[in-house]
Amino acid sequence: MRVVSLVPSLTEAVAVTAPGLLVGVTDWCTHPAGLTAARIGGTKNPDTAAVAALRPDLVVANEEENREADLAVLREAGLNVLVTEVRTLDQAFAELERVLTACGLNRPAWLEDARSAWAELPPAPVPRPAVVPVWRRPWMVLGRDTLAGDLLARLGVRNVYAGHRDRYPRVPLGELNASGAELVVLPDEPYRFTPTDGPEAFPGLSAVLVDGRHLTWYGPSLAEAAGALRAAFR
């Protein structure tokens, strides 16, 4: 089996389960360390000719992270392309099983560990309203139907823009500060918020910096994310 992954989360999932399957990954695939598969460009601009030249049996992709135009080119080249859609934790688990099954793999221990970690969380406290920026210049925040929003809700953090018509709306900074939020949650990806780059823009809110991989990736990181994120919001 030869697999090309166009999604960092899925790269980690496949590589941890069966390291020898991956023959191509994106430049953004950073986990696990020591990947030796060929690099085929970014998630938004993969080198489709390089992907085809690797002769994969399966290309795994995501409807949000990858462009349909690129996936169409790969299909036209005769490649089998599996596209995931992940908006909730339950959907993440289901899609991971689908990907691993398509790779000819049995359910790995880390997937069971991840399910257990989230199932064993104590009941969420009274929700605290929060804004969750994912970019600045311009400011963009989590909106509706996101995995990150679902994870936060399970931890007692209510995204005040969860009802917005857009999944990642652009919102002026003044509006964010007047949104009624008590918290600002600042992940370190896709924009790398840090203690000195982000919190200063929200002087009236408590700032919580979190590992973006724990908040947005679906794969082996989900097993540690439950505890790590819960600790961040204590």
- pLDDT tens digit sequence for 173-192: 999 999 999 999 999 999 99
On whether the 3-107 domain is CATH 3.40.50.1980, my answer is yes
- pLDDT tens digit sequence for 125-183: 889 999 999 999 999 999 999 999 999 999 999 999 999 999 999 999 999 999 999 99
CB 183 within 8 A of CB 208: yes
Q: What are the domain boundaries of the chain?
A: 3-107, 128-232
Find out whether the peptide bond into 122 is cis, omega within 30 degrees of 0. no
Please state, for a pLDDT cut of 70, what percent of the chain lies above it: 100
Residues in Cβ contact with 206 at an 8 Å cutoff, skipping those fewer than 6 apart: 182, 183, 184
Q: What's the token pair of residue 221?
A: 């990181």
Whether the model pTM is above 0.85: yes
Residues in Cβ contact with 182 at an 8 Å cutoff, skipping those fewer than 6 apart: 128, 129, 130, 205, 206
* Residue 77, pLDDT score: 96
In this chain, the answer to whether the domains covering 3-107 and 128-232 adopt an identical fold is yes
Q: CA 10 to CA 61: how far, in whole Å?
A: 8
128-232: CATH number: 3.40.50.1980
Residues in Cβ contact with 131 at an 8 Å cutoff, skipping those fewer than 6 apart: 141, 159, 160, 161, 171, 176, 179, 181, 183, 184, 185, 202, 205
Among candidate residues 52, 55, 11, 63, the one with its CA nearest the CA of residue 33? 11
Name the band, by pLDDT with cuts 50, 70 and 90, for residue 124. Answer: confident
Q: CA 28 to CA 49: how far, in whole Å?
A: 18
How high does pLDDT run on average in the chain? 96
